Amino acid sequence: MRFDDRFLEEIKSRVRLSDVIGKTVKLKRQGREFVGLSPFTKERSPSFFVNDDKGFYHDFSSGKHGDLISFFQETERLSFMEAVERLASEAGVPLPAPDPQAAEQEKKRQGLSDWMDLAAAWFEGELRRPPGREARAYLERRGLPDTEWKRFGLGYAPESRTALKDYLIAKGAKPGELVDAGLLIAPEEGGAPYDRFRNRIIFPIADARGRVVSFGGRALDPNARAKYLNGPETSLFHKGRLLYGLPEARKLMHAGGADAPLVVVEGYMDAIACQRANIAAVAPLGTALTEDQMEVLWRLHPEPTLSFDGDAAGRRAANSAMDRALPLIKPGKSFRFAIVVGGKDPDDVLREQGPAALKAQLTDTTPFVEQLFHRERDLEPLDTPERIAGLKVRLRKLAATIADPDLSQAYREDLLGRFDEMRGVKVSAFQKGSVERGPWRERGPWRGRPQQGGIVGPIGPDSQTKDLATLNRILPKPLTAALAYAVLQDPHVLDDKVEVLSAQGFCDTRLAALADQMVQFRFEHDHIDAVSLRRHLSSRGLSEHTIQDLQKAAKIANTPFLAAGVDANSARSLWTRAYELVVKLGTLERAVEGAKQDLARDNDSSTLMRLKTERDLLKRLVDTGAWSDEGEAAVWLN
């Protein structure tokens, strides 16, 4: 739902800022303002001011400033929608009625939500009835006493194809509704729907407001095809956007104050173990941590801690999270890492060593940049010059994937500094200052590196020059061929994208070596033109036949940035737009491959189908040349 400014001003005018904030912060009047201790930081002298006349608060200790909506967002970790709903409730103002179609959808969702609540209560009851004997024994072996079951809404789904179905239909539910809610499975070949969860311990999955939207089930049968099973995507449940344990984690963070950590663990039992130790923790829902889930985490905490198991699956999950997070991190939004020692998971540590030991291990964290460097350093033995140079290239490329330019530069400096330290290279303060403040930096957004007796050098492959003769008679994709051919015609189209090209290439493996050589040449020379670039590439084995192949493929693409009569600035702008869409398509291709791997784990194809649809739409846009329409391109680039 969207709220217009008049409605927002209306609800803010109905309440006094000091009255609402005064419920959680002890305020004293000081002239025309109220003052109290900061709710965001720990302080002894009050520096938090509230001004009813102007309708804002200002906290000098943290620098935070805002109105009641932002106050609820900051102190209770609410989304904007949730904060508006909370303020409307305080003001006694009903929310504006949605449009009829939205109202009908909300009515349907509310009906499904009612069945989810009934199902959750039924599962809880079954856990304590005779059929739940084995489930109770399992929970007790895991060190989870029955006094905690209610807190986490734990339940049991008995070994029956219709037990839940029969119960809910007796309460008035229709089978189709229960299928829509994800509680029943409708056989593809036809026939009566049956219970999705059978002989499983049940973990309710709640949205940010604490409403049950799905369930996860842990199989008690050791031979079950899937050890853990989540409900499917529904109108209530979008597993790529939600996190298990979120409502309870928010309560713990609110109780713990501004310095309370937020930990991301792998599974339900790990999240429960942390929360029992008063550590705010959440878990992804059977898949790798998604970009949407990262945004949810950052709304709650500027640097959540990722704590995955030390086994191969845990390392894959940590690596996937790092790769997905790199383009998104920025000042005030990053992650830290904590590894639970001894091959244990948080649930093991709590059960064997107690809450104090678990807290100690989860607060012993590693910064994102350090974890990233260690991953790349340990990727392969650094026993040859080629492998050492390869590490340096990877570090540069990873730093270049960070969208925020200042943070990208800071990461590059930090990673290469760690590389030099590992190699025993001492860089003088004069050299560091020269790299950062010397004339090289003024030449563009690219950066130099120390070399023999000087400062600047290539960002591309250092000691492993790639032979372009292998590109002869290639058959590249039309649009990527056009992008590469345009660089041969006007190398300055690279000026704003050279760092990205260093990391992403042309998103066409057949042109990877060519992209590397173009980047290397761009960084080695102050002044470049088409003639000097071609001469350099020719010396590396690029033939005229290959250039002709690129030109022929480019003509098939019918690209406007190569059209006759287009001025240089327009051509460069069109080239940049096309290149950004190709990179976007490459990102979607990788996301589809990741979703295929997720499918093997949880048998839920909805995320894969959504990504494939998005990928196919963008591919059609790219292949048909419709990308040159500014409006069509903006849909994808914005």
Residue 322 identity (one-letter amino acid): M
What is the pLDDT at residue 342?
64
Show the 3-state SS of 366-419: EEHHHHHHHHHHCCCCCCCHHHHHHHHHHHHHHHHCCCCHHHHHHHHHHHHHHH
Question: Considering the chain, what percentage of its residues have pLDDT values greater than 70?
Answer: 83
344 has a pLDDT exceeding 60: yes
What is the pLDDT at residue 523?
67
Give the separation between CA 557 and CA 509, rounded to whole angstroms.
Answer: 18
CB atoms within 10 A of CB 286: 20
Residue 602's pLDDT band (boundaries 50, 70, 90)? low
Show the 3-state SS of 562-622: HCCCCCHHHHHHHHHHHHHHHHHHHHHHHHHHHHHHHHHHHCCCHHHHHHHHHHHHHHHHH
Residue 242's pLDDT band (boundaries 50, 70, 90)? very high
> Do the Cβ atoms of 492 and 521 come closer than 8 Å?
no
456 has a pLDDT exceeding 50: no
What is the pLDDT at residue 256?
76
Mean pLDDT of 482-489: 88
Of 223, 227, 264, nearest in space to 242 by CA: 264
User: Model confidence over 252-290: pLDDT tens digits?
Assistant: 887 776 678 999 998 899 999 999 999 999 999 877 788
Residue 54's pLDDT band (boundaries 50, 70, 90)? confident
What is the pLDDT at residue 13?
79
449 has a pLDDT exceeding 70: no
The backbone torsions φ and ψ at residue 205, rounded to the nearest 5 degrees and listed phi first, read -110, 120
Using DSSP's 3-state secondary structure scheme, residue 285 falls into coil
Report the topology of domain 100-230. DNA primase DNAg catalytic core, N-terminal domain (3.90.980)
What is the pLDDT at residue 574?
86
Using DSSP's 3-state secondary structure scheme, residue 309 falls into coil
Report the topology of domain 5-91. DNA Primase; Chain A (3.90.580)
Q: Please, what is the angle between helix 5-13 and helix 80-91, to 10°?
A: 50
> Do the Cβ atoms of 553 and 475 come closer than 8 Å?
yes
User: Model confidence over 18-49: pLDDT tens digits?
Assistant: 988 998 899 998 887 899 999 888 888 888 99
Residue 395's pLDDT band (boundaries 50, 70, 90)? very high
> Do the Cβ atoms of 546 and 499 come closer than 8 Å?
no
> Do the Cβ atoms of 439 and 458 come closer than 8 Å?
no
Give the separation between CA 618 and CA 347, rounded to whole angstroms.
Answer: 43
Using DSSP's 3-state secondary structure scheme, residue 315 falls into helix
pTM: 0.59
**What residues contact 501, with CB distance under 8 A and at least 6 apart?**
494, 515, 518, 519, 579
List helix spans (H) across 92-221: 100-128, 133-141, 163-170, 175-180
DSSP H or E segment with residue 336: strand 336-337
Q: Please, what is the angle between helix 512-524 and helix 478-489, to 10°?
A: 20
Q: How far is CA 99 from CA 95, 208, 442, 612, in A?
A: 12, 24, 54, 31
Joined together, the tokens standing for residue 396 give 């540069």
What is the pLDDT at residue 616?
82
**Residues linked to residue 219 through DSSP beta bridges, in sequence order:** 200
Strands 33-36, 280-282: pairing is unpaired
What are the domain boundaries of the chain? 5-91, 100-230, 246-364, 468-637
Residue 115's pLDDT band (boundaries 50, 70, 90)? very high
Give the separation between CA 541 and CA 532, rounded to whole angstroms.
Answer: 15
Mean pLDDT of 118-146: 94
What is the pLDDT at residue 459?
31
Give the separation between CA 625 and CA 578, rounded to whole angstroms.
Answer: 9
User: Model confidence over 201-216: pLDDT tens digits?
Assistant: 999 999 877 889 999 9
Report the topology of domain 246-364. Dna Topoisomerase Vi A Subunit; Chain: A, domain 2 (3.40.1360)
What is the pLDDT at residue 131?
92
